A and B are shown apart, each in its own frame.
Chain A
Amino acid sequence: MVTNDTKTGESGIILTTADYAINWARSNSLWPLTFGLACCAIEMMATGAAKYDIDRFGAGVFRPSPRQADLMIVAGTVTFKMAELIKRLYAQMPEPKYVLAMGSCSISGGPFSKDSYSVLRGVDLIVPVDVFVPGCPPRPEALLEGLIKLQGIIKKRSIIDKK
């Protein structure tokens, strides 16, 4: 006899699609890369800490290696010297991989978009960006909103899509 308090594997069947199950898993366990470039990183740390707690969305496991990360939060000013390394870090991340551009600097260069010799005018010039979060710096709520938007994008994808 099967009862509710024994886990035998015989107690029930869940029917779903592969897309739904895979996207559910992917969107709720986004592991970000520990990657802060400037003051936006302070807000990103606040988002990870107790008050805002990015772990509620399954994205709190900041990985020290790009090979274990799904999401690169570009939090801060991208200089040309750093841009070379961002390209390499992005290449080292396994598929599927996502990029979130956080703050004015990584979107367009921000205050450095005019007359700077050293700042890249937007990280989307070197890596494909899924979500832009405006602000200087964005508040933790804004970063969480961007994360929820990214989860929505992931949930609409299909494993059959080549993209």
Chain B
Amino acid sequence: MEINRIVELLKDSFGDAIIELAETKPDPYLKVNKDRITDICSYLSQEPQLGFDTLMILSGMDLGDKLAVVYHLYSLQHKHRIVLKAELPKDNPAVHTVESIWQAANWFEREAAEMYGITFIDHPDPRKLLLTEDWIGCPMRKDYVYPESWHGMPLKRPADEK
């Protein structure tokens, strides 16, 4: 199905929650309201003519003044794809999990959570994925402040400091 037709179907069901379709190359992305993300995703996966059965990747983004979560969806049955982007405010970046719709989201969300500080509400396993449990800060944020050392090991070689 063409991307514009998919967007029309979504607009019929969700109205204002579908903000705009950005015509970027190679994949256009669809901006959506973060509060309706679970409804939109379950519609996309349940509706037979859409049939988005695969979450290819879920990633976090730092846009400077706000954060974003990007969902790359694919339908193995219909061979069409869509990219959703939900923008979150930086002071309280929280979005509902889509783990109950696509289990692949479990680790993707854990990674986005530790790297960008995004809270995924109702996530079944909200531990850190790659970082250690005592890690401070979100390394992929643009305003991340590097620590001097980690467990007594320096982040710079002594000769590099000049």
Please list the residues of chain A having a beta carbon within 8 angstroms of any beta carbon in chain B: 80-81, 83-84, 108-109, 113, 117-118, 120-122, 125-126
Q: How many angstroms between the C-alpha atoms of A120 and B152 in the bound complex?
A: 11
Instruction: Please tell me if the beta carbons of B157 and A122 are within 8 angstroms of each other in the complex.
Output: yes
Query: Please, what's the 1-or-0 string for B100-133, where 1 marks a CB less than 8 Å from any CB in chain A?
Result: 0000000000000000000000000000000110
In angstroms, how far is the closest chain A Cβ from the Cβ of B148?
A: 12
In angstroms, how far is the closest chain B Cβ from the Cβ of A83?
A: 6
- How many A-B contacts at CB < 8 Å in the complex? 27
Instruction: Please tell me if the beta carbons of B132 and A117 are within 8 angstroms of each other in the complex.
Output: no
In angstroms, how far is the closest chain A Cβ from the Cβ of B21?
A: 35
Instruction: Please tell me if the beta carbons of B150 and A125 are within 8 angstroms of each other in the complex.
Output: no
Q: Which residue of B lies closest to A120 (CB)?
A: B153
Sorted nearest first, the 4 A-B pairs with minimum C-beta distance are: A117-B139, A121-B157, A80-B150, A83-B153
Instruction: Please tell me if the beta carbons of A125 and B154 are within 8 angstroms of each other in the complex.
Output: yes
Given A109-B157, A113-B157, A117-B139, 4 further pairs, Cβ under 8 A: A84-B151, A118-B131, A120-B153, A121-B157
In angstroms, how far is the closest chain B Cβ from the Cβ of A85?
A: 12
Residues of B within 8 A of A121 (CB): 154-157, 160
Sorting the interface of chain B by its residue count into under 10, 10 to 19, 20 to 34 or 35 or more gives 10 to 19
Residue pairs across A and B with Cβ atoms less than 8 A apart, 5 shown, are A108-B157, A109-B157, A117-B155, A120-B153, A125-B154
Query: Please, what's the 1-or-0 string for B13-48, where 1 marks a CB less than 8 Å from any CB in chain A?
Result: 000000000000000000000000000000000000
Please list the residues of chain B having a beta carbon within 8 angstroms of any beta carbon in chain A: 131-132, 139, 144, 146, 150-151, 153-157, 160
Instruction: Please tell me if the beta carbons of B153 and A125 are within 8 angstroms of each other in the complex.
Output: yes
Residues of A within 8 A of B154 (CB): 121, 125
In angstroms, how far is the closest chain A Cβ from the Cβ of B76?
A: 33
Instruction: Please tell me if the beta carbons of A118 and B139 are within 8 angstroms of each other in the complex.
Output: yes
Residues of B within 8 A of A109 (CB): 157
Instruction: Please tell me if the beta carbons of A80 and B157 are within 8 angstroms of each other in the complex.
Output: no
In angstroms, how far is the closest chain B Cβ from the Cβ of A109?
A: 8
Instruction: Please tell me if the beta carbons of A125 and B157 are within 8 angstroms of each other in the complex.
Output: yes
In angstroms, how far is the closest chain A Cβ from the Cβ of B56?
A: 25
Most buried by B among A117, A120, A122: A117
In angstroms, how far is the closest chain B Cβ from the Cβ of A84?
A: 7
Q: How many angstroms between the C-alpha atoms of A113 and B139 in the bound complex?
A: 16
In angstroms, how far is the closest chain B Cβ from the Cβ of A22?
A: 35
Most buried by A among B132, B146, B154, B157: B157
In angstroms, how far is the closest chain A Cβ from the Cβ of B157?
A: 5
Residues of A within 8 A of B156 (CB): 121
Residues of B within 8 A of A81 (CB): 132
Residues of B within 8 A of A122 (CB): 157
Residues of A within 8 A of B132 (CB): 81
